[in-house]
Amino acid sequence: MYADSPNDTPTESLLCVQALRKQYVRGGIWRKRVPVAAVNGVDFEIPRGRTFALVGESGSGKSTVARCVTRLERPDSGRILIRGINIAQLRSRDLLPFRSGIQIVFQDAITSMNPRFSALEIIEEPLLIQSQRGQVEYDRRNRRDRVGALMVEVGISPDWMHRSILHFSGGQRQRLALARALALRPQLLVLDEALSGLDLSTQAQVANLLLDLQAAHSLTYLLISHDLGLVARLADEIGVMSGGQTVEIGPTQQIVTSPNHAATKKLLAAARTATSAFAAATGEQA
């Protein structure tokens, strides 16, 4: 039984997060149990086909929001509306129809894939799960064809599908992670620091790939990052998080050029320092 009717939210929003809260409890049998609020009142909305970036320093609660939106975690309170339906408190079984529509790509492509799997097994598994549930009819051959097509789409030769993922570079694995996420034809892709672990050249390539994929499939992105420079290139709108709350939300241009909140100013200053340090370093090398 779904908690909300589809009429609760504007139709143009694919994702609407309202008053999201999540706390963890530290301690155990021998230590005092202390609640720690990871997310303490987060609100934002993403229209279909747009990119919304959540930025903030480490520990601000960005990844917890990502985990709640993908329902890897159950939020304590608040609403997560997907096409108007609140999935925040749905049970695992009721969540299944929504799983394929929301996919997540993690920061570390190495640890986000089963180290014993080949590229084929990695990308094929979501299709296999869908087939077993009877959501989509995929026989073995169809699955392989789809895996091949997805590999081509993310720029990896399908001839490599039988290779172990250990044989792929960091950038290639992130492309495989994107292919796996796209296998279920999601509408919302949550990119949890998905570009952070890559070198600058690979980061630029994957960023371009993300833009191409978005244009091709009308994907909606929730981009989690601490890198305002990168975010400014990809996002239509930015939400700044600090202490588990969204402290400032606005169009990218506005956030970058005229920030209001101290946390936003601090992030921008850090991004500028990093950029000038990089420029100085490359200048010296030249």
Residues that bind other proteins (CB under 8 A): 29, 67, 70, 72, 95-96, 99-100, 102-104, 106, 108, 111-116, 125-126, 129, 133, 164, 166-167, 177, 180, 183-184
Residue number with CB closer to other proteins (65 or 228): 65
Minimum distance from residue 264 beta carbon to other proteins (Å):
29
**68 φ, ψ to 5°?**
-70, -45
Minimum distance from residue 259 beta carbon to other proteins (Å):
32
Coil, strand or helix: which one is 19?
Answer: strand
Minimum distance from residue 123 beta carbon to other proteins (Å):
11
Q: Which residues contact 232 (CB under 8 A, 6 or more apart)?
A: 238, 252, 256
Minimum distance from residue 151 beta carbon to other proteins (Å):
17
Minimum distance from residue 125 beta carbon to other proteins (Å):
7
Residue number with CB closer to other proteins (95 or 207): 95
SS (H, E, C) 138-154: CCHHHHHHHHHHHHHHC
Residue number with CB closer to other proteins (61 or 126): 126
Residue number with CB closer to other proteins (166 or 215): 166
Coil, strand or helix: which one is 205?
Answer: helix
Residue number with CB closer to other proteins (80 or 271): 80
**79 φ, ψ to 5°?**
-125, 140
Minimum distance from residue 157 beta carbon to other proteins (Å):
19
Residue number with CB closer to other proteins (126 or 244): 126
How open is the CA angle 263-264-269, to the nearest 5 degrees?
Answer: 100
Residue located via tokens 């994907």: 219
Burial 20-52 (b: 16+ CB within 10 A, else e): bbbbeeeeeeeeeeeeebbbebbebbbbebbbb
Sequence-ordered alpha helix ranges (H) in the chain = 62-69, 92-99, 119-133, 140-153, 170-182, 200-217, 228-234, 252-257, 262-285
